[in-house]
């Protein structure tokens, strides 16, 4: 059975993950509006990934005989001054999520909820990747500056991102989606 303090903070994290998906979907819409199809695609893939993260917490709570309680999801911003500003905000957002995950891990340790350690270790490692990816793109956009040709080349690169369920998680997410 899941520790009640861990259950509460994981329920809060579900909302944070769904907000992340909502934020990245808003960023995708922004990129569509300025005709950067690659960045829009990249952000849609990122939104899907965040939905999976929410479902992993959901399934963990359910599997440990806890109760999932969904909270309110705030509306994200609708536009940004530039592609660079959007990716800088995405990186800052991922840093915030990292802090939230670290806090959950700290509480789980304090509560001796060792069963939550595996999923939290996965999320800790995932956040390293999330921060690195958004920072890399932000740094590339800084290098691009006002060079529209370079921006279009970077946009084409972002279009190549392929969203797939991580192999180790497809059964978990599929089980949630399939009602198992």
Q: Set out the domains of the chain in order of their start, with CATH numbers.
A: 4-165 (1.20.1260.10)
Tokens of 77: 């911003």
Q: Is 50 annotated as a binding residue?
A: yes
Please tell me the predicted confidence (pLDDT) of residue 177. Answer: 47
- The yes-or-no verdict on residue 29 having pLDDT over 90 is yes
Reported as a single tens digit per residue, the pLDDT across 79-94 is 999 999 999 999 999 9
- List the structure tokens of 100: 């939230």
The residues, any chain, with a CB within 8 Å of residue 131's CB and separated by 6 or more, are 91, 94, 95, 98
Looking at residue 164, its pLDDT comes to 81
When the pLDDT of each residue in the chain is averaged and rounded to a whole number, the result is: 93
Measured between alpha carbons, how far is 69 from 10 in angstroms, rounded to an integer?
A: 10
Task: Tell whether 127 is in a known binding site.
Answer: yes
Tens of pLDDT along 90-133?
999 999 999 999 999 999 999 999 999 989 999 999 999 999 99
Q: For residue 61, is pLDDT > 60?
A: yes
Q: Is 17 annotated as a binding residue?
A: yes
Instruction: State the pLDDT confidence band at 163, using cuts at 50, 70 and 90.
Output: confident
Predicted confidence (pLDDT) at residue 171 exceeds the cutoff of 90: no
Residue 12, annotated as binding a ligand? no
Compute the distance between CA of residue 89 and CA of residue 80 in angstroms, rounded to an integer.
9
Is the pLDDT reported for residue 151 higher than 60? yes
The span from the CA of 70 to the CA of 85, in Å, is: 30
């Amino acid at each position: 059975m899941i520790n009640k303090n861990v259950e509460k903070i994981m329920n809060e994290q579900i909302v944070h993950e769904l907000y992340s998906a909502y934020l990245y979907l808003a960023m995708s819409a922004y990129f569509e509006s300025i005709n950067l199809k690659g960045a829009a695609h990249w952000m849609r893939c990122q939104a899907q990934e965040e939905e999976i993260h929410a479902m992993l917490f959901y399934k963990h709570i359910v599997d440990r005989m806890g109760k999932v309680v969904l909270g309110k999801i705030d509306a994200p911003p609708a536009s940004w001054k530039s592609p660079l500003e959007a990716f800088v905000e995405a990186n800052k957002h991922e840093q915030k999520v990292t802090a939230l995950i670290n806090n959950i891990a700290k509480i789980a340790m304090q509560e001796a909820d060792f069963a939550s350690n595996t999923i939290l270790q996965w999320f800790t490692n995932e956040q390293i990747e999330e921060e690195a990816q958004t920072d890399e793109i932000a740094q590339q956009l800084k290098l691009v500056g006002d060079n529209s040709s370079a921006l279009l080349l970077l946009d084409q690169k972002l279009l190549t991102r392929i969203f797939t369920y991580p192999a180790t998680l497809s059964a978990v997410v599929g089980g949630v989606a399939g009602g198992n």
